[in-house]
């Protein structure tokens, strides 16, 4: 039976704890352009769903509004 030793955070440097100079997104394998494109697509899609939900609410289609509201 192997015993696990505690990881002493106080004895470690910030580079060892936080990964040094590596980006937080380096494990995803996405370029900066891909991340910005993904953000833009999610933003536009969310804006579209929100506008459609607001239009449906004002038209009285509460069931469709509730469905879209649940998706957000």
Q: By C-alpha distance, which of 45, 36, 39 is closest to 72?
A: 45
**Once rounded to an integer, what is the mean pLDDT over residues 6-31?**
69
Domain count, the chain: 1
Boundaries of domain holding 50? 9-71
Residue 1 within a domain: no
Residue 17 within a domain: yes
Q: Please state, in angstroms and rounded to a whole number, the distance separating the CA atoms of residues 26 and 41.
A: 21
Check residue 3 and give its pLDDT: 72
Tens of pLDDT, residues 19-61: 666 666 667 788 889 989 999 999 999 999 889 988 988 999 9
Residue 4 within a domain: no
Burial of 64 (0-12, 13-18, 19+ CB in 10 A): middle
Check residue 65 and give its pLDDT: 86
Number of Cβ atoms within 10 Å of the Cβ of 65? 18
């Amino acid at each position: 039976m192997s015993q696990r030793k505690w990881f002493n955070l106080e004895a470690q440097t910030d580079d060892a704890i936080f990964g040094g100079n590596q980006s937080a997104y380096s494990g995803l394998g996405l370029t900066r352009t891909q991340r910005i494109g993904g953000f833009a697509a999610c933003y536009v899609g969310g804006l579209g769903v929100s506008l459609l939900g607001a239009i449906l609410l004002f038209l009285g289609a509460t069931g469709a509004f509730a469905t879209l509201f649940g998706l957000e």
